[in-house]
Structure 1
Amino acid sequence: MLYFVGQVLPYIAGAIFLIGVTYRVAGWLKVPVPFQLTLFPAPTDGAGRVAAVGTELLLFKSLYKNDKNLWLWAWLLHVSLAMVIGGHIVGIYFLMNQFTLIGLSSSASQATSAFLGTVSGIILMVALIVLFYRRLANPEVKKLSDPADYIDLLFVLVIALTGNHMRLPGVHVDLPAVKAFIGNLLTLSPTPIPNDPIFIAHFTTVMLFMIYFPFSKMLHFAGFLVNRAMLVEAAPVYPTPAGTPLRSDFAGTKQPVADSGQAKGVQA
């Protein structure tokens, strides 16, 4: 069983994750949008559109305008999750010595890394609990929720709980062994998983979540980028000059114009 969990399951999970996400996003991009979706006022240049999408991505401005309480917990969840993921990548690679790059001693770097990781993990766990409770306690939200909404939150909550468990006093995780294990997975030379029950539980849950992710509502992150790109793209120009390409990858097929004096194709 440990052989499967540590040396087979990661590749199954990685393949399903990458193929599943790519397939779903590619499917969205192929769907014709035969009408203009731009919300005005909209940026007129590429840099402005990137800034508009980036601002929404980082600050959740639309959600803030509509529900400030939900915005707070949703924003905390996503920020803490980003910090946890980033902390895992950097912290494991540098064995928690990443802050030596800015002048801290090794011991100070490890203490800072542990502190930030613990705080981020606690905030993530609390935000998940609050949002889960909100789905149960708010009649309107409960009416709109389906089992998938609860499964998504519970999945991430289990990952957060097992991750936070590894930070409890008296619990020791062999970080160099974890780094070597993950490094060997990435170089396609898998080795036995570290024999630590808490780490095995945490790692297994993450692998199962990667398998589940492409088919869940958690893929809303990629959907957000596609959706916002359509909402802030430049409006088409009418009449469309001959030879002008479709306004974006989201547009539908060109349609002929009755007046032969106009361009042969008009953006949908």
Structure 2
Amino acid sequence: MSITVFYHRICQWSVIGVLLLIMVSVLVPVVTRAQQTTPASEGVIVNKIEDLVGIWESQHGDSGAKAYRQYEANGTIREAYSLDNLQTSPLHIGHVWFENNVYCQKNDHPLAPDSPGKYEVRIHKAKGMPDRLSFRVIDDADKFRVKDFTAGMTRVEPALQTTGEIVTRIEVLVGLWKTHFRGIEAYMQYAPDGTYWLAYNRENLQSFPLVAGRVWFEGSVYYQQDQGGGYPSPYTGKYEVLIQKEGDVPVHLVFRVIDDPEKTRVKDLTAGMTRVEP
């Protein structure tokens, strides 16, 4: 190989090397910018209170202590360190609403900021069901709430496996169901007019019921009012009811509590019901 040819080869390699360096210097920042602009949070933006109804595990205060937050269908939010205290002695009670896809919350206590906290809320699913909430602060003067919310929330109730069609009519419930009363297996019978009876055995349903009362629907909300018997609470329970089917045959009822101070009834109903007849 002559010196002239060797010189030209060196020049070609140098040019190729320079071009490669230029390409790397241009492309690397582009990739970096693309990575930086990829959304950090997945999930679907929440824009209505119905998507939040239920109980979520979160944290509270500087210590990050475990707490629970319960969203009700009317926008009320309650916070407590234990599930049992959500209705009876909550740490805070507030109200939640949405404005143009923005979650707004104002707490009902004297030290709460005058302006509501504002967040973008995303719901994340597991096995097709709501599992976790993530909060991105937009504006909130309550720095403790910012810390609590941006830590996220995890679904407690209703459980992930509670799928089915939402019940809105008493006709769907009419018949006999196997349920629980104070944790013991029992039977519940619904009549077409909304009357119901609860007893440990079928023979005593109408003659010697443990509990009797009535139920009705307002939209998709199930109301149960006991009129004497084993549940001493005078309160009316509010639930969302799902019916699960095998083919076209109803086989199971799932109850999601919305608001019910009678904790024994909550425990019994949320254990579900199984169809006996028809």
Both proteins in one fold, TM over 0.5:
no
Q: Using CA pairs below 8 Å that are at least 6 residues apart, which structure has the higher relative contact order?
A: 1
Larger relative strand fraction = 2
TM-score, normalised by the number of residues in structure 1: 0.20
Considering only CA atoms, is the larger Rg found in Structure 1 or Structure 2?
2
TM-score, normalised by the number of residues in structure 2: 0.20
Larger relative helix fraction = 1
